[in-house]
Structure 1
Amino acid sequence: MTNPIVDVFFGSTLTSSGPTATDISRHVDLMRGIEIDRGAQDELSEIQPSSCRIALDNSDGRFTPGRAASPYYPNVRKGVPIRVSAATFTPRTGSSPYPMDMLGDDFDDDRISSTLWPNSYGGVSEVGGRARIPVVPGVTAGYQSAREWTLVGSKLTARLVTLPAVGGSSSAVCSMWVNSTTSGTRLGWRYNAVTGLVSAESQTGFSDGAAVSFTYSPFSYMWLRVREAGGTVFWESSSDGAAWTTRRSLAAPAWVTSQTHAVEIAATRTGGVADYCEWDYVGATVHPRFFGTVQSWPTTWKGLSSTATITCTDLLTWSSIVKELQPMLVQEVLLDRPTVFFPLTEPSDSTSAGNIAGTAGVGSLSIVQAGSGGTLEFAGGVGPNGQPCPVFTPASSSAGKYLSADLGPNVTDANASFRLRVECWFSTSTKDRVLLAMTSSDAETKMVMSLNSASGGLQVQVQSPGSALVATLWGTPDLADGQLHHLVYNEFTGEVAVDGVTYSASNFSPNDQRLLYVGGFQNTRLWNGLISYVALYVRSVTTADLTPHYTTGTTGHAGESASARMSRLASYVGLAVTTQGSAFDAVASQADLGRSALEHMRDIARTESGKLLTNRSSGIPLIFQSRDLRYNPVAALTLDYADLETTDFEYAYDDQKVVNAVTASRPGGATQRVISQASIDAYGEKPQDLALLKNTDNSAADAANWLISRYADPPPEARQVPVEAYSMPIATYRALLNADVSTVLGLTALPSQAPGSTATAVIEGYTERIGLRQHHLDFHTSRADTDTVWVLDDSTYSVLDSTTRLAY
Structure 2
Amino acid sequence: MALLVEVGWGGLVQAPSTITWTDISTRVNQAQGGVVITRGASDELSEAQPGTATLMLDNDDGALTPGNASSPYFPFVRRNAPIRISVAVIPQKSGSAPYPMEQLGDDFDDGRLSTVLWPSSYGGVTEAGGVVRVPVSTAGNAGLQSAREWSLAGSKLTAKLVTVPKVNGSSAAAASMWANSTTSGTRIGWRYDAIANTMSAQTQTGFSDSTAVAFPYSPISHAWLRIRESGGTVYWESSSDGFGWTVRRTLATPSWVTSQTHAVEFPTTRTGGINDFVEWDLVGAHIRPRFYGLVNEFPVGWQGMVATAKVTATDLFKRLNRLPVLRSMLAEEILEQAPMVYYPLTEDSTSTTAGDIGGNGAPSLAITQSGAGGTLTLGSTAGPPETDEQVTVFTPSSATAGKWLRADLGPQFEDPPMYNYLCFEAWFQTTTTGRCIMGVHTTDLVDQHLLSIGAGGILQIEWSSAETPMTTVTVDGTSGLADGNWHHVVYDQREGAVWVDGALVDSALAVSRRWGERVLHVGGYRGTRLWNGSIGHVAIYSTTDTSAGPTAATHYTAGMTGFAGETADARIERLARYAGIPSVTIWGSTFDPIASQGAGGSGVVARMREIETTESARLFAERDWYGLAFQSRDIRYNPDPQSEVFTIDYADLETLSVELADDDQKLVNSLDASRPGGATQRVTSPESIRDNGVYDPGALSILKTSDNSVLDAAWWRVSRYADPAPELREVPIEAYTMPSYLDILDADISSYFTVHNMPAQSPTPAMRVTVEGYTETIKEASHLIQFHTSASLTDSVWVLDDAVYSVLDSSTRLAY
State TM-score, norm by structure 1.
0.97
d(CA) in 2 for partners of 1:169, 1:319: 49
The answer to whether residue 799 in structure 2 is matched with residue 791 in structure 1 is: yes
- Within 5 Å, which residues of 2 pair with 1:182-221? 182-221=183-222
Question: Counterpart amino acid of 1:693?
Answer: L
- Within 5 Å, which residues of 2 pair with 1:263-412? 263-319=264-320, 322-360=323-361, 362-384=362-384, 385-386=386-387, 387-412=389-414
| Cross-structure match for 2:771 | 763
Displacement after TM superposition at 1:465 (Å) = 4.1
| Cross-structure match for 1:15 | 14
Indicate conservation of the 8 Å contact 1:18/1:217, yes or no.
Answer: no
**Could you give the per-residue CA deviations for residues 162-182 of structure 1, whole angstroms, max 9, x where no partner exists?**
121222223222211111111
- Structure 1 pair 806–660 and aligned structure 2 pair: CA distance change class (3 A): same
d(CA) in 1 for partners of 2:295, 2:363: 38
Question: Counterpart amino acid of 2:741?
Answer: Y
| Cross-structure match for 2:541 | 537
Indicate conservation of the 8 Å contact 1:102/1:283, yes or no.
Answer: yes
- Within 5 Å, which residues of 2 pair with 1:335-734? 335-360=336-361, 362-384=362-384, 385-386=386-387, 387-414=389-416, 417-453=419-455, 456-465=457-466, 467-478=468-479, 479-502=481-504, 503-504=506-507, 505-541=509-545, 542=547, 543-575=549-581, 576-618=583-625, 621-634=627-640, 635-688=644-697, 689-729=699-739, 732-734=740-742
SS at match of 1:569: helix
| Cross-structure match for 1:807 | 815
Q: How many residues align?
A: 802
Indicate conservation of the 8 Å contact 1:18/1:220, yes or no.
Answer: no
Indicate conservation of the 8 Å contact 1:593/1:600, yes or no.
Answer: no
Question: Counterpart amino acid of 1:177?
Answer: W
d(CA) in 1 for partners of 2:158, 2:42: 37
Displacement after TM superposition at 1:314 (Å) = 0.6
d(CA) in 2 for partners of 1:749, 1:415: 69
| Gap regions ≥5 residues in structure 2 | none
**Could you give the per-residue CA deviations for residues 351-377 of structure 1, whole angstroms, max 9, x where no partner exists?**
2211001102x1111111111112212
Question: Counterpart amino acid of 1:60?
Answer: D
Indicate conservation of the 8 Å contact 1:327/1:593, yes or no.
Answer: yes
Indicate conservation of the 8 Å contact 1:415/1:512, yes or no.
Answer: no
d(CA) in 1 for partners of 2:418, 2:48: 50
Indicate conservation of the 8 Å contact 1:429/1:480, yes or no.
Answer: yes
SS at match of 2:574: helix
Indicate conservation of the 8 Å contact 1:720/1:778, yes or no.
Answer: yes
SS at match of 2:415: helix
Indicate conservation of the 8 Å contact 2:645/2:744, yes or no.
Answer: no
Displacement after TM superposition at 1:208 (Å) = 1.6
Percent identical pairs in the alignment equals 51
Question: Counterpart amino acid of 1:480?
Answer: A
- Within 5 Å, which residues of 2 pair with 1:735-746? 735-746=743-754
Question: Counterpart amino acid of 1:356?
Answer: I
Indicate conservation of the 8 Å contact 1:105/1:282, yes or no.
Answer: yes
The answer to whether residue 56 in structure 2 is matched with residue 50 in structure 1 is: no
- Structure 1 pair 299–728 and aligned structure 2 pair: CA distance change class (3 A): same
SS at match of 2:20: coil
d(CA) in 2 for partners of 1:593, 1:281: 49
**Could you give the per-residue CA deviations for residues 23-45 of structure 1, whole angstroms, max 9, x where no partner exists?**
01111110121001111111111
Indicate conservation of the 8 Å contact 2:136/2:275, yes or no.
Answer: yes
Question: Counterpart amino acid of 1:804?
Answer: T
**Could you give the per-residue CA deviations for residues 770-804 of structure 1, whole angstroms, max 9, x where no partner exists?**
00111001111111101000000000000011101
Indicate conservation of the 8 Å contact 1:123/1:141, yes or no.
Answer: yes
Indicate conservation of the 8 Å contact 1:321/1:573, yes or no.
Answer: no
| Cross-structure match for 1:165 | 166
Displacement after TM superposition at 1:547 (Å) = 1.6
**Could you give the per-residue CA deviations for residues 507-536 of structure 1, whole angstroms, max 9, x where no partner exists?**
112222211000111211111122111111
Stretches of 4+ aligned residues off by more than 6 angstroms:
none
**Could you give the per-residue CA deviations for residues 291-347 of structure 1, whole angstroms, max 9, x where no partner exists?**
100001111112321111100011112156643111111111111111100111222
SS at match of 1:294: strand
- Structure 1 pair 465–506 and aligned structure 2 pair: CA distance change class (3 A): closer
SS at match of 1:264: strand
SS at match of 1:571: helix
**Could you give the per-residue CA deviations for residues 104-154 of structure 1, whole angstroms, max 9, x where no partner exists?**
000001211111111111111112110111112363211011111111111
Question: Counterpart amino acid of 2:212?
Answer: A
d(CA) in 2 for partners of 1:399, 1:584: 54
Question: Counterpart amino acid of 1:488?
Answer: V
d(CA) in 1 for partners of 2:273, 2:474: 69
Indicate conservation of the 8 Å contact 1:84/1:290, yes or no.
Answer: yes
SS at match of 2:457: coil
State TM-score, norm by structure 2.
0.96
- Structure 1 pair 368–415 and aligned structure 2 pair: CA distance change class (3 A): farther
SS at match of 1:117: coil
Question: Counterpart amino acid of 1:532?
Answer: G
d(CA) in 2 for partners of 1:416, 1:794: 65
Question: Counterpart amino acid of 2:717?
Answer: L
- Within 5 Å, which residues of 2 pair with 1:116-265? 116-137=117-138, 139-265=140-266
Indicate conservation of the 8 Å contact 1:411/1:538, yes or no.
Answer: no
d(CA) in 1 for partners of 2:731, 2:288: 20
| Cross-structure match for 1:777 | 785
**Could you give the per-residue CA deviations for residues 538-591 of structure 1, whole angstroms, max 9, x where no partner exists?**
243522222211221221111111000001001101112111111111111100
- Structure 1 pair 506–136 and aligned structure 2 pair: CA distance change class (3 A): farther
